[in-house]
Amino acid sequence: MNGISAKKVLQMEGRSEAKGPARRWRPIIGVLMALLMAVVVVPAAAEEESGTERAEMTADDYAERVQHFYGKTEDFQASFLQTYTDIAAGEAKQSRGRVYFKKPGMMRWDYYRRDANQRDRILVSDGNTFYIYEFEYQQVFRECLEDSQLPTALRFLMGDGELLDEFDVELSEESTPQRPVLELTPKRPTAEYTKLVFVLDPESYQVSKTTLHDPYGNTNQIDFRQSRVNSGLPDEGFEFETPAGARELNPEKRCD
C-alpha cells in the first residue's frame, strides 16, 4: 500500500473502485471475525489438562477448546504483526498495529506507518457497517455486513457458527503439546482461501498466530502480541465518521 494509492491498485488489476478494497481485505477480515467474535458460549468451564492428557488430544479436541475460549470472550485487544507473502512478486510485506474486537460484531484495526506512530489506515465495524479508511489518500470505502459475503463470520456473529461445522480440522505435522498447531480446511470451498493455520497457546487455547493460504500460494500471517480479553472496551471506539475532506468511494452505500 505504501507509495501507491488504492485507486491505482484497482486500475492495474482491472477492478472497479467500489469492489477493490473489499476484495483486498475480505479474506483475512472474514477469518478473524469468525475466530475472535465467536458467540457460541459453552456453559461449563474448561478443565485443565495435564501434559499426558494434552499429548492425547485430537484436532477436534483442540478446536472445541478454541471455541470455548472465544465463546466466553466479550472483548479482545492486541498488538499485531501482519506478514503478507506474495509468491508471484517474490516478496513479503509487513504491517503492524493494534486490533480490537467486541461482541456483537464490532471490530477495529489500526495500522501504523513503519517509521512513525502515525496511523496509516483503519478498518472499523460498528456491528452494522464496515469501513476502510486510508489516511494518505483520504478515501473511505464502506460495506454492509449483511451483504458482505462473509458467511462464516456472520454465522459466528449470529451465534450459529462453530469451527467444526465450518472446517475440517487436522493437527499440523509441526504440532506438539507445547505448541499446538491446527490446520483448518473449509468444508465449503471458497475462492478466497484454501487453508487456515492456527498456532495456539497450550494453556488458554487462544490463537497466538493465524496464517491464511490463498489459492495462488500466497500467505497472510498475523501474530497477536500483548493480548487482553474482557477489559470492557467502550462501544464508542468502534464508531466511524468520514473525516472532513475525505473521498467516499461508494457514497451511495447505506446499511440502515
Given a cut of 60, is residue 5 above it in pLDDT? no
Given a cut of 50, is residue 24 above it in pLDDT? yes
Q: Any long-range contacts for 119-128 (C-beta under 8 Å, 24+ apart)?
A: 120/1, 120/2, 120/95, 121/1, 122/240, 123/25, 123/29, 124/238, 124/239, 124/240, 125/33, 125/238, 126/238, 126/239, 126/240, 127/238, 128/255, 128/256
Give the pLDDT mean for 99-120.
86
For the chain, give the mean pLDDT: 77
Given a cut of 60, is residue 11 above it in pLDDT? no
What's residue 165's pLDDT? 85
CA distance 90 to 87: 5
Give the pLDDT mean for 200-220.
90
pLDDT digits (tens, 9 = 90+) for 173-188: 999 999 999 999 989 8
105 or 35, greater pLDDT: 105
CA distance 187 to 165: 8
Given a cut of 70, is residue 19 above it in pLDDT? no
Least confident of 53-57, 180-184, 223-227: 53-57
Domains of the chain as residue ranges with CATH: 8-43+57-241 (2.50.20.10)
Given a cut of 70, is residue 73 above it in pLDDT? yes
pLDDT digits (tens, 9 = 90+) for 89-102: 999 999 999 999 88
What's residue 235's pLDDT? 95
What's residue 50's pLDDT? 57
The answer to whether the CB of 157 falls within 8 A of the CB of 35 is no
pLDDT band at 241 (very low <50, low <70, confident <90, very high): very high
What's residue 173's pLDDT? 96
What's residue 230's pLDDT? 92
CA distance 135 to 154: 28
The answer to whether the CB of 179 falls within 8 A of the CB of 197 is no
7 or 211, greater pLDDT: 211
pLDDT digits (tens, 9 = 90+) for 142-159: 888 775 555 454 455 444
What's residue 130's pLDDT? 84
What's residue 107's pLDDT? 86
Q: What is the DSSP letter of 174?
A: T
Burial class (CB within 10 angstroms; exposed 0-12, middle 13-18, buried 19+) of 247? middle
What's residue 70's pLDDT? 78
Q: Which candidate, 36, 193, 249, places its Cα nearest to that of 125? A: 36
The residue behind cell 493480548 is 227
Map residue 217 onto helix, strand or coil: coil
Give the pLDDT mean for 156-170.
72
**The most confident of 42-46, 52-56, 157-161, by mean pLDDT:** 52-56
* Predicted structure pTM score: 0.77
